[in-house]
Amino acid sequence: MNNLKSVNLSKSYTTNEESIDVLHSINLTINLHDQIAISGNSGSGKSTLLHLLAALDTPTSGKICIDDVDISSFTKNELSKHRLENFGFVYQFHHLMEDLTVIENILIPGQLANTNPSLKDDAHELAELIGLSHRLNHLPWKLSGGEKQRVAIARALINKPKIIFLDEPTGNLDDKNAQIIQDLLFDISNKHGVALVAATHDNNFIKNFKTIYKIEDKNLEPEPWLAPPTSILIS
Ligand code: ADP
Ligand code: MG
């Protein structure tokens, strides 16, 4: 996979005869090496957009293309295979399996894909990368929030994805742990070209991204650099 594209992507939810338009005609292309932040108020549609891009939900109109092929032409199996092999996910809450150890949690997507002969070695390497190789056999409840989120990142990376989708990944962490997660994600993205697509309103996180968008009034607007201009800082 080389790119993922949304074309005139719109989404409405209908509940109890009431319909709400969340996203209107969004065009976005994600290439390898991209680092894209999507900001916006709570309820503006950030998670909805990530779910659509990651093929976890279907648009009301418009389409999602992978290498210019409309994914609505994929079978269910093709789509889940593609998701497993090309996408990683990290959410605000780690969603680790509580009765599986650190290393077992990291291994899950790899075992589902079942395509990597050196899966175990890779999982150990990732555990080292996230600084938890001394805690491989611990259950999640023994870990801090930041450590659990690091395991979630390792799990998202085990299949060597092309894109990692992040939904408020630092939203539940203190500043120090948010910084560790941030450094880890950008380090991986810069070294391996994994694209990052993050829904977030953490300004400290947002400012690291090469491209920053904001969802406003159902549209995706380019967001200029969020920090105040230098002249203001000096005065
Ligand atoms: P954000 O992630 O920016 O906070 P969401 O994408 O979660 O926003 O939600 C956007 C809007 O869509 C909100 O008004 C939310 O209530 C609504 N929404 C999200 N998911 C559903 C759903 N499954 N059914 C109905 N409404 C939904
Ligand atoms: Mg959300």
**pLDDT for the residue numbered 227:** 46
Q: Nearest ligand to the C-alpha of residue 51?
A: 1
Distance between terminal CA atoms of the chain?
48
- pLDDT tens for the chain, 235 residues: list them: 999 999 999 999 998 889 999 999 999 999 999 999 999 999 999 999 999 999 999 999 999 999 999 999 999 999 999 999 999 999 888 889 999 999 999 999 999 999 999 999 999 999 999 999 999 999 999 999 999 999 999 999 999 999 999 999 998 889 999 999 999 999 999 999 999 999 998 999 999 999 999 999 999 988 765 544 444 555 4
CA 10 to centroid of chain Cα atoms: 20
Please tell me the distance between residue 31's alpha carbon and the centre of ligand 2 in angstroms: 23
Whose C-alpha lies nearest to ligand 1, atom 7?
47
For the purposes of burial, counting CB atoms within 10 Å of the CB of 65, is it exposed (0-12), middle (13-18) or buried (19 or more)? middle
Number of H helices, E strands in the chain: 8, 10
Residues contacting 5, CB < 8 A, separation 6+: 27, 28, 29, 30, 64, 65, 66, 68
Whose C-alpha lies nearest to ligand 1, atom 23?
13
Token couple for 226: 């969020």
Give the 3-state secondary structure percentages of the chain, helix then strand then coil, rounded to 5.
40, 25, 35
Token couple for 116: 């990597």
| Cβ 22 under 6 angstroms from ligand 1 | yes
- Between helix 145-157 and helix 119-129 the angle, nearest 10°, is 140
Count of other CB atoms within 10 angstroms of residue 118? 10
Closest approach atom of ligand 1 to CA 42: 4
Question: Alpha-carbon distance 138 to 19, whole Å?
Answer: 46
**pLDDT for the residue numbered 92:** 85
